[in-house]
Structure 1
Amino acid sequence: MPNSVGLHPGEQYSPATGLIYVFNLIVGMGCLTLPAAFAAAGWGLSAGGILLLAIVSYMTTTWVVESMACANAINHWRRMKQLKKRGQVADELVSRTLENAEADQRCTDTSEDQDENEEESPLITEGVIERTVGEYYAIQEQIEMGQMAELFYPKVWDKVFYIVLCIYLYGDLAIYEAAVAKSLRDSICNYVPANCSSEPVDLDKCFQDSDLTRLEMYRLCTAAFIGVMGPFVFFNLTKTKYMQMLTTFTRWLAMGIMITWAIVYLAENKGHGHPPSADITKLPQLFGVCVYSFMCHHSLPALITPVTEKRSIVKLLAADYMLILMFYYLLAFTGIFAFEHLNDLYTLNFQPDRCKTDDTSVIIYSLRLFLLMFPVFTLSTNFPIIAITLRNNLKGLCLREGRRYSFFTTRCLFPLLAIIPPTLVGFITSDVEILVGITGAYAGSFIQYVVPATLVYYARKMTLQYIGMGVKNPFSAPLQHSAWLVIICVWAALCQVFVTIYLIEEYNK
């Protein structure tokens, strides 16, 4: 298969590497909030719920892949039309030159035959057109979700997509800030109350000889984090290969330590977790966390397009989802039975024990400190990238192409708009689980369910109109009936209604 448009051979990678990238993208911040959500909703209800949501997420992922192929097909079709038009213009110029040179000869019949041949002539040559038609649906060009929305959606609806995407990115940044600030706060505060076994609260002191509270320290850590990472949003950065490798290694090391630690607890009969089998009232909370934990749709074009061999990409994605689901089961089930109380950020369950400061070995203490700082290491590297993505999407939403704007508007205003709102949210609340639930239940479910369903609907409609049924799409999703698209959209709407009711009830409490 030819190289992707705009991609050099060195920028491409094998299907196995591509699936590792998808795995790393999905298994991110969301999995750290899964154990607490599992414990609240019950192990039985959570096991069935995450299985259902994994299946639905995979279905919509295949729709995104199909839409990518349709977008490439439309672009290929347009290029062929341009080449045909250029070829006809060249034939007309040659014909006029011949007519001027042989003006004294009448060749009406010959001209008519020539016109008929031009109408039936291929775009370039027979070999080229056959090869191009065969690659109509080849995913060779990286077409982002926003570009597909502009290509397939009716007017105005592409703006709706950008708005929802910006809201999701805002939620992402707020989650990152809260997770990093909480981890920093818990690694700094050393005050031990009289009843050290009780969980610390925001109004507890941070230091023994200071009136500074844990909440105030959390807000100071939030401000410090923004002070360090915020300036990067004013520039253009790219995530380097070595940064990706370091982040991936750190993530796998931390996940492996947490799972192994919980298994050792259970093997030594030290597990104190007794979660219920089901608590239906916590299902909306579980829904938002699970949706966020399977989010990858907005980044699929960047991950799948460079894959060298894509013929089996739909089946390989199914295997990837199964592996991720098993990993989530392992992480969540070991955690809910090992710990009696689970923090909204799972790494906080491994922080150094305040009640046992003398008999803790250096290795155990170092591992606990590493897990406590794990969100700081990984999320800090991703924060500028997500903030810059949000900044660019805000520009695309608000600025008109071709119009000149002031330096403050282009270089200062939109970076500030990208970092100020999530920072204010971070100051107000430190509840990472609630932030993940809201972000996943509203903006996340729209991007993961509604956008793929509507996108593939319009993509199929447009390709049928321009290309017809003669060329088969090898990346067609397993579920082709339009009823599935309606079912998913109705499902997303009902889930958002249930989540809204749940949040209202929690607020009234």
Structure 2
Amino acid sequence: MAGGGPDIGSYSPLTGFVFIFNLIVGAGALTIPHAFAQVGLIYGSIVLAVLAATSYVTATFMIEAIAGVNALKKRSRELDDGAIMTANASAGDDDDAEDNDADDDDRMQTEFMPLMVPAQADDKLEKRLHVKSSGMLFKFDLSKKMELAQMAQTLFSRNGNIAFYACVIVYLYGDLAIYAVAVPKSMREILCPRPAPGVARWQCSDQLDSSQLYKLFVVAFGLLLGPFAFGHVSKTRTLQFITTVVRHVSFGLMILLALIGIARGQGRSVDDVLSYERPENITTFFGVCIYSFMCHHSIPGFIAPITDKSKVGFVMACAFLAVLCVYFVLSYSATFRFQPDEIDDVYTLNFKNYSIRAVAYFLSLFPVCTLSANFPVITITLRENLRTLAHSLAGSSDEDPLHSHEHDEEQSGGILAFVVRHMYALIAIVPPLVVAFFTEDVSMLVGFTGAYAGLGIQWVVPTCLVYCLRRRLASERARALLGEDKRDLLKLSNANPFASPFAHVAWLYLIFACALASTAIITIAHFK
């Protein structure tokens, strides 16, 4: 997934706060003012605050899961080292038998079989744990970067991993479709401005109308950035810094310009704002909020370099609170400055006619620059996730399901060889461009992506991870204590210092229930 975290050594908690804040405030923030205004001030404020709190809760689940998986992996390495020492000490007795046992141990799998149900304990693993039970101690740590996919591989079964990758892939497809719409739409609005807010289609020249020009930009966007899907692209630190500065300058300018307009009497009255209520639009706003608070897939890479790990929880809480404040200021300023039907689904386009043309062009080009820079990275991430999912679906086969065909076709050359060799890249790049070709509704795409795939990554996956982790730790501690004096329970079952403050199992079931109810309500609303 995109945004695995900065590779810059270590940094202070304050720097970690800045990185996490920048991670959350991304492209989704550009769609919040439109969706917020469509719901109304009161409903929008409640939903935004509740979803921010829920996202924070699941972010703490991610932190707990990272520390727990690191502890499990360290414990596994300790057991492996002990097994190797034991095997070496008794190698002279029966070399062949010991070698076979060691090979079997190396192949052992300790993950849960179904998505959320622990597997039956392997006999040989139990023997190893029993030998080491007197020294059972989990070493919880956040220093080692643990990607979300690695955590899923450790805690989920094969079916759970397939579900996980399917969720990730749908989210990445939605991400790319949003980018493939927002960039051409911004370019179209710069070259051929919309004559009035409510106009859906207008003439740009004798040969082209607005819809045709938009489709030309979609094609150009695909031709310019699509080839990166076939190679390897890395975001440099300089590019990250530049896009971060541009992003915050843009948000600051939009808030400032909206406040200036309000001060000049160009805004709406308080009574007008408070009287506008459209609860039927909450489903779309829900998806937009989920998308706008999305950071969970990149949390591992951003917290690992923080020097003082004891402050990670505080840093995360401050980052979410700061983002919520920014979203409130951005949404309130837009709502009091513009009528709901005047706010564009890409908020920067509301300032394309600003009197200072340099400012107008800067804000209009902001999505073009930042989203175009991220598009190749996300495309390559999607390509590799598609490859991994195909490998998982192939079952026990060690070979990529397309690999056997690739080798033969590469030798023959031609178009068919190119298609087969770059199958995953083509599957990654073509569908988002097709979606962008037939719709330019960014708000709809953000709402759909957030409400389904985003909900899975932000709510369901972290909750499943911490649920499986807690059961896994409890299971291994119970096995380690088998035959031990129960008075040693406290000594052996050391607590996770990075555990979520929402430790009661009721929080897990509450998140699951909310996710299920939200999905059902949103689906019903979409198909009415």
Is the partner of 1:137 in helix, strand or coil?
Answer: coil
TM-score of the superposed pair, with normalisation by structure 2: 0.81
C-alpha distance in 1 between matches for 2:522 and 2:477: 42
Q: Which residue of 1 aligns with 2:107?
A: none
Q: Out of 390, 400, 418, which is 1:398 matched to?
A: 390
Equivalents in 1 of 2:7, 2:146: separation in Å? Answer: 18
Instruction: Identify the match of residue 156 of structure 2 among 140, 153, 165.
Output: 153
Q: Secondary structure at the match of 1:312?
A: helix
Instruction: Quote the Cα distance in structure 1 between the aligned partners of 2:143 and 2:92.
Output: 34
Shift of 1:288: 0.7
The one-character-per-residue Cα deviations of 1:406-445 (angstroms, maximum 9, x if unpaired) are 1557741111100101111101110000000000001111
1:86-165 matches, cutoff 5 A: 86-92=84-90, 133=137, 136-165=139-168
1:461 is aligned to 471
Shift of 1:279: 2.0
Name the SS of the counterpart of 2:202 in structure 1: coil
**How far apart, in 2, do the equivalents of 1:9 and 1:495 lie?**
36
**Residue of structure 2 in register with 1:249 after alignment:** 245
After the TM superposition, which residues 366-381 of structure 1 pair with which residues of structure 2 at under 5 Å, given as runs? 366-381=358-373
CA offsets, 1:67-116, max 9 Å, x none?
111110110011000111122234335999xxxxxxxxxxxxxxxxxxxx
Q: State the shift of 1:200 in Å.
A: 6.0
The residue aligned with 2:24 is: 26
Distance 1:412 1:309, change over 3 A: same
Task: Report the equivalent of 1:55.
Answer: 53
- Using the TM superposition, give the Cα deviation of residue 8 of structure 1 relative to its aligned residue in structure 2, in angstroms: 12
Distance 2:257 2:36 in 1: 18
Partner residue in 2 for 1:99: none
Distance change (3 Å), C-alpha of 1:59 and 1:379:
same
Structure 1 residue aligned with 2:12: 14
User: Structure 1 stretches (4+) deviating beyond 6 angstroms?
Assistant: none
Q: 1:17 and 1:74, CA in 2 relative to 1: closer, same or farther beyond 3 A?
A: same
1:243-282 aligned at under 5 Å gives the runs: 243-272=239-268, 274-275=272-273, 276-282=275-281
Give the AA of the match of 2:213: M
Deviation (angstroms), 1:464: 1.9
Secondary structure of 1:317's aligned partner: helix
Partners in 1 of 2:6 and 2:209 — Cα distance? 54
- State whether structure 2 residue 433 is matched by structure 1 residue 423: yes
Deviates more, 1:296-305 or 1:404-413: 404-413
- State percent identity of aligned pairs: 36
Structure-1 separation of matches of 2:64 and 2:515:
20
Q: Which moved more, 1:311-320 or 1:243-252?
A: 311-320
Match of 1:178 among 181, 193, 197: 181
Summarize the alignment of residues 249-398 of structure 1 with structure 2, pairs less than 5 Å apart.
249-272=245-268, 274-275=272-273, 276-340=275-339, 341-352=342-353, 360=355, 364-398=356-390
Bigger-Rg structure (1/2): 1
State the shift of 1:352 in Å: 1.9
* 1:449 corresponding residue in structure 2: 459
Contact 1:45 1:277 in 2 (8 A): no
- Shift of residue 10 of structure 1? 5.4
Alignment of 1:498 onto 2:518: no
Residues 219, 149 of structure 1: CA spacing in aligned structure 2 closer, same or farther, 3 A cutoff? same
Aligned length in residues: 455
Give per-residue Cα distances to partners, 1:175-207, cap 9 Å, x unaligned: 0111101100011115x8xxx5x3263431113
Question: How far apart in 1 are the matches of 2:22 and 2:434?
Answer: 29
2:496 to 461, 465, 473: 473
Shift of residue 282 of structure 1?
1.1
Superposition CA RMSD, Å: 2.6
Q: Scaled by the length of structure 1, what TM-score is found?
A: 0.84
Describe the shift of the 1:375–1:39 C-alpha distance in structure 2 as closer, same or farther (beyond 3 A): same
CA distance in structure 2 between the partners assigned to 1:298 and 1:8 by the alignment = 13
Return the letter of the residue paired with 1:504.
F
Give the residue type in structure 1 aligned to 2:315: L
Amino acid at match of 1:475: F
How far residue 63 of structure 1 moved from its aligned partner, in angstroms, is 0.5
Q: What letter matches 1:175 in structure 2?
A: I
CA offsets per residue over residues 101-134 of structure 1, 9 Å max, x none? xxxxxxxxxxxxxxxxxx99x98xx9xx89xx47
Deviations 1:114-166 (A, max 9, x none): xxxxx99x98xx9xx89xx47x1112322221221121123311101100110
| Cα-to-partner distance string for 1:234-287 (whole Å, 9 max, x where unaligned) | 111111100100100110111111011111111121214744453211111111
Distance in 2 of aligned mates of 1:15 and 1:83: 35
Distance 2:308 2:289 in 1: 30
Correspondence 1:219 to 2:215: yes
Cα 1:238–1:483 change in 2 (3 A) is: same
Q: Is the contact made by 1:73 and 1:463 (CA closer than 8 Å) also made in structure 2?
A: no
CA distance in 2, matches of 1:502, 1:439: 15
Task: Read off the aligned partner of 2:42 and give its amino acid letter.
Answer: G
User: Matched residues in 1 for 2:12 and 2:246: separation?
Assistant: 23
Instruction: Specify every segment of 5 or more residues in structure 2 that has no aligned partner in the other structure, as ranges.
Output: 95-127, 392-396, 411-417, 479-491
Q: How does 1:231-246 map to 2 (within 5 A)?
A: 231-246=227-242
- The residue type equivalent to 2:496 in the other structure is N
Bigger shift: 47-56 or 485-494?
A: 485-494
Larger mean CA deviation between 80-89 and 461-470 belongs to 461-470
What amino acid sits opposite 2:336 in the alignment? F
Paired letter, 1:281: E
CA–CA separation in structure 2 for the residues paired with 1:9 and 1:390 = 21
CA distance in 1, matches of 2:233, 2:305: 20
SS in 2 for 1:311: helix
The one-letter code of the counterpart of 1:347 is T
Which amino acid counterpart does residue 212 of structure 1 have in structure 2?
A: L
Is 1:63–1:456's contact at 8 Å kept on the other side of the alignment?
Answer: yes
Q: Distance in 1 between matches of 2:163 and 2:91?
A: 47
Change (3 A) 1:435 1:313: same
Listed as ranges, the gaps of 5+ residues in structure 1 are 1-6, 97-118, 354-359
* 1:31/1:293 contact within 8 Å kept: yes
Higher mean displacement: 428-437 or 467-476: 467-476
8 A contact 2:6–2:302 mirrored in 1: no
Name which of 71, 78, 81 aligns with 1:83: 81
Separation in 1, partners of 2:361, 2:241: 22
